Amino acid sequence: MAFDSPNDRGPGFGGARETAAAPLVDPFGRAISYLRVSVTDRCDFRCVYCMAEDMTFLPKRDVLSLEELDRLCSAFIARGTRRLRLTGGEPLVRKDIMTLVRSLSRHLQTGALDELTLTTNGSQLARYAAELKDAGVERINVSLDTLDPDRFKAITRWGDFNKVMAGIDAAQAAGIHVKLNAVALKGVNEDEIETMIRFAHGRGMDITLIETMPLGDIDGDRTDQYLPLSVVRARLMDRFTMTDDAHKTGGPARYVRVAETGGRLGFITPMTHNFCESCNRVRVTCTGTLYMCLGQDDAADLRKPLRASESDEALNAAIEEAISRKPKGHDFIIDRRTARPAVARHMSVTGG
């Protein structure tokens, strides 16, 4: 295929450069086994809590090519990454994205990787679900904050609810396990959370509720959106019998089992309960910037060593040095006194 970066070197993903090396362990003894990679900052939605409607996206030359993304992911896998999640923006709007997915699936076949998965808004799933399953993707997360088409349009600005439903149908028909992610938004969807739980569990899907996070400037005030999940959970306990569940997916969610539905419900609570003590994750943006913590600005440029040499020696050195600076935790704050976002970059840049 033809790659899309000025430094493309043609076909031949993988190769001799993939040699085993020492696992990555941060200063607090946490092994880095989970990598989230944004393959694009572009998205076909403009969700109100994620980005402004009038976004300026990165020029193509700044974005890693598919080959560079493969090489970077493979370097992490050689150092102990067992779970790899492709994100965005919306990952399925990246041109030729399935070439990357199919190439990375070789690590599933060798046993070097336990899981290759995606987080998606579902808009392109009807088109790609069968191919994703064929490439070894067994599980995906679909971001869905409402079941009301009009409300969906208001939250996403550009989204088509029916396309997302068709995408979920296609993924389940292909045999992919779907988990829904819903951002809890005060005054927006808080009256719908019970309904969404029953919907998800009725279709055999787990659902995870997420607190909105102070990432990037948006059109509005996040203090108007912020709904503590401690409040949501207390309300749900009036409706459901919930018992702790030890289920883990490698991410920060803590799960309960809902007796009335038989399904699992997750909570991601970066604001009300700091989950950093067990963090095994790092994120790489579509420009090759490694963020050791979602809630900190400290970062490392991996694009420069990627493009400087065919060898991965400099890349590995840059990764090692960055992991040695991984902080103990984030410093998220949402209140009226802290009007500016905790981190200036948008979630679509970092990777959801």
| Residue 200: predicted pLDDT | 98
CATH of 34-350, one of 3.20.20.70, 3.40.50.880, 3.40.225.10, 3.30.1780.10: 3.20.20.70
> 174-231 pLDDT, tens per residue?
999 999 999 998 998 999 999 999 999 999 999 999 988 654 444 555 456 788 999 9
Which strand (E) or helix (H) includes residue 208? strand 206-211
For residue 218, what pLDDT is reported?
A: 41
Binding residues for [4Fe-4S] cluster: 43, 47, 50, 276, 279, 293
pLDDT of residue 209: 96
Q: pLDDT tens digits, residue range 287-338? A: 999 998 876 778 999 999 999 999 999 999 999 999 999 877 655 444 444 4
pLDDT score, position 21 = 72
* Binding-site residue set: 36, 43, 47, 49-50, 85, 89, 119, 143, 179, 213, 276, 279, 281-283, 293
Predicted confidence at residue 336, as pLDDT, reads: 43
| Residues of the binding site for GTP | 36, 85, 119, 179, 281-283
Sheet with 264-268, strands from edge to edge, namely 242-245, 254-258, 264-268, 206-211, 177-184, 139-143, 115-120, 83-87, 34-38, 281-284, 289-291, 299-301
**From 130-134, 207-211, 276-280, the region with the lowest mean pLDDT:** 276-280
Neighbours of 82 (CB within 10 A): 18
pLDDT at 344 over 80: no
Residue stretches of the annotated binding site for S-adenosyl-L-methionine:
49, 89, 143, 213
User: Given this model, what pLDDT does residue 330 score?
Assistant: 54
pTM of the model: 0.85
Listed ranges 117-126, 247-256, 328-337; the one with the highest mean pLDDT: 117-126
| SS percent in the chain: helix, strand, coil, step 5 | 30, 20, 50
Which residue ranges make up each domain of the chain?
34-350
Predicted confidence (pLDDT) at residue 347 exceeds the cutoff of 80? no
